[in-house]
Amino acid sequence: MRFEAPTSLNAAIELLENEAGVVRILAGGTDVLVQLRSGQVEPDLIVDIKRIEAMQTITEEDGGFRIGAAVCGAELGGHAGVCKLWPGVVEAVELIGSTQVQGRATMVGNLCNASPAADSVPAMVAAGATARVTGPEGSRDIPVEKIATGPGQTSLGRAELVESVYLPARGVHSSDAYLRFIPRTEMDIAVVGAGISIEMDGNGICTHARVALGAVGPRVMLVEDAATALIGTSIDEAALEALAQAASSAATPIDDKRGTVDFRIKVAGVLARRAAIIAVQRSRVD
């Protein structure tokens, strides 16, 4: 097994391009190291991207923020600008692991690990975030929901990596929220996750909404019917009920060690409703 820690993006791409065997990209390493230790994977090459300076930074861009692939949860949580603009994304990232893990784990790593239960992903999808994918052919920006194609599977080409994620600018009366259900209070993995982003007009009517669910299908899903249930309403009780029903209807979970089909379907609606209420409250604070 070879371990490389390039200091430029081009060098990283070149390493990926020239390796024919099994490759793992290491940012925080909180997934890769677990896979290594359990014998799940025996990579021929590990490319550590933490030494690439651009990947370590959060940059303001067109009123939004570009977050480098190696930015850890603790840094993101400590960034006042991101916390103010996208509190739901930050709270989702901060749910990953423990305080110690927060010092390593990255949002982009969470995205590329392609777990349907990844906490930060529904929040990013709801936020309309885009991922900048870079490879030998150059860079392209794609919606984050296009990264994962199934559990552990991504749309990335073999020499491609996600360089950064962009969280866009947003209007005045807007906010977001993420909730997950776990049977404990921390150190657990989502049984259901719900991310919601809303924008209200001056009269308190929802003009824009995105709703994403985690752990209720093979990948995080954007639920358009759930967003439709909110748009054009004041997000009153009837809208919340319609939202919950749309979320539950969209859920296609499985029975497994973490929860049952019936439970996940019902709780998808419960969490979507609760997250919407929080997002509305936050949109008023501004």
Partner 1 sequence: MGKQDRDFKAVGTRPLRPDGVEKVTGRAKFGADLSAPGMLVGRFLRSPHAHARIRSIDTSKAAALPGVKAVVTGDSFDITKVSSGNHDTLANVMARDKALYEGHAVAAIAAISVSIARKALKLIEVDYEVLPHVTDVDEAMAADAPLLHENMFTANLTPKPTKPSNIANFYEFGHGDIEAGFAKADVIIERSFKTAATHQGYIEPHACLANMTQDGQGELWCCTQGHFMVRNVCADLMGMEISKLRVTASEIGGGFGGKTTVFIDPVALMLSKLAGKPVKIVMSREEVFKASGPTSSTSMRIKIGATNDGRLTACEGEFNYQGGAYADSPVQFGAMSAFACYDLEHVKTVGYDVAANRPKNVAYRAPGAPMAAFAVESVMAEMADRLGLDQLEFRLKNAATEGTRSSYGPTYNSVGLTETIKAAQSHDHYSAPLGANQGRGIASGFWFNFGGQTAVSLNVQEDGTVNVTVGTPDIGGSRASMGLMVAEELGIEYDNIRCIIADTSSLGYNDVTDGSRTTFSSGLALINAAKDAKAKMCARAARIWDIPAEAVEWKDGCVQPAGANAGEFEPMSFAEIAANADNTGGPIAGHHEINASGAGVSFGTHMVDVEVDPDTGYVKILRYTVVQDAGKAVHPAYVEGQYQGGAVQGIGWALNEEYIYGEDGRLQNAGFLDYRMPVASDLPMIDTVIVEVPNPGHPYGVRGVGETSIVPPMAAIANAVSQAAGVRMTELPMSPPRVLKAMDDAKGG
Can you give the binding site for partner 1, defined by CB under 8 A? 38-39, 181, 183-189, 191, 256-260, 262-263, 266-267, 270
Of 64, 47, 55, 67, nearest to 120 (Cα)? 67
Shortest CB 151 distance to partner 1, Å: 15
Shortest CB 14 distance to partner 1, Å: 28
Query: CA 119, 222, 90: angle at the middle one, nearest 5?
Result: 35
Shortest CB 262 distance to partner 1, Å: 7
Shortest CB 39 distance to partner 1, Å: 7
Two tokens, residue 242: 């319609």
Judged by beta carbon, residue 138 or residue 184, the one nearer partner 1 is 184
Shortest CB 257 distance to partner 1, Å: 5
Judged by beta carbon, residue 54 or residue 277, the one nearer partner 1 is 277
Residue 215's alpha-carbon distances to 201, 212, 267, in angstroms, are: 32, 10, 11
Judged by beta carbon, residue 100 or residue 139, the one nearer partner 1 is 100
Beta-strand (E) ranges in 5-160? Answer: 23-26, 45-48, 58-61, 64-68, 130-135, 138-143, 148-150, 153-154
Judged by beta carbon, residue 215 or residue 267, the one nearer partner 1 is 267
Of 152, 151, 150, 106, nearest to 131 (Cα)? 106
Distance of CA 102 to the CA centre of its chain: 15
Judged by beta carbon, residue 50 or residue 258, the one nearer partner 1 is 258
